[in-house]
Amino acid sequence: MGYLEGFAVTLRKVAEGVTTRNYRGGKGGRSDQKAPKPPRLHGRHVLNRYEDGMEKCIGCELCAGVCPAKCIYVRGAENPPEDPKSPGERYGYVYEINYLRCIHCDLCVEACPTEAITETKMFEFSFTNRSDAIYTKDELLVGDDGKPKDLPWEDWRPGEDEYTSGWMRATSPSGKAGFEGKVGWSGELGYGVRSPELGQSAVEIEESSSDGSDEHGGHH
């Protein structure tokens, strides 16, 4: 294709008009609505607390050991008897995640025995320096209200802190059907015990209702 033919393609595309729209993000001028996020989207991590305020992390370092990107650094310490941080003998004294390496595979969530680390739906970061991309325990640990810290370079939207991946593991449709509809995790500060996921059987019933057949019809 010669130069003239190439310019002709460009001019034709210009004449077709713009198929995208301007999106003004950030905490100031939010005008356009974002597309809904998938229910299992893996975003920014949080370190959770029990309903009594105790930290769920026991500093076992399993999340760091299973991480394929080697982006998690954890160091546990003995719980001080006069001011215990977690219900166990140890707690996460140091906890860091390097988001320049993280691939959001969710393996850390799967490995955690206490459901301390989970992932929210917030995935938009705007780091101005490399040090901001390394989240410390103080930044990851939820506040006294159980909500994630809202850092200056993050773009949180309503609902992105709800239904984090930790509560979806045991009852996900790809898991065992025996876990569907059953609560298999502890309550979280600010949220309590989350409602269990209904799973694949609920999807089948919903499809059955939408196409006019009953649950004893052709969807088994």
Residue 206's pLDDT is what?
A: 55
Structural domains of the chain in order of their starting residue, each with its CATH number: 37-210 (3.30.70.3270)
Residue 140's pLDDT is what?
A: 97
Q: How many CB atoms lie within 10 A of CB 20?
A: 5
Residue 161's pLDDT is what?
A: 87
Question: Phi then psi for 51, rounded to 5 degrees?
Answer: -65, -25
- Residue bearing the bigger pLDDT, 216 or 140: 140
Q: Model confidence at 174, in pLDDT bands (50, 70, 90)?
A: low
Q: Model confidence at 213, in pLDDT bands (50, 70, 90)?
A: very low
Note the pLDDT tens digit of each residue in 188-201.
898 888 777 666 56
Lowest mean pLDDT among 12-16, 66-70, 213-217: 213-217
Residue 10's pLDDT is what?
A: 82
Beta strands in 86-154 (DSSP E): 90-98, 117-119, 134-135
Asked whether the predicted pLDDT for residue 98 surpasses 90, the reply is yes
Alpha helices in 33-100 (DSSP H): 62-66
Residue 201's pLDDT is what?
A: 61
d(CA 22, CA 216): 48
Task: Give the global pTM.
Answer: 0.72
At 110 the three-state DSSP class reads helix
| Six token digits for residue 35 | 């597309």
Q: What is the largest CA-CA distance in the chain?
A: 79
- Residue bearing the bigger pLDDT, 201 or 78: 78
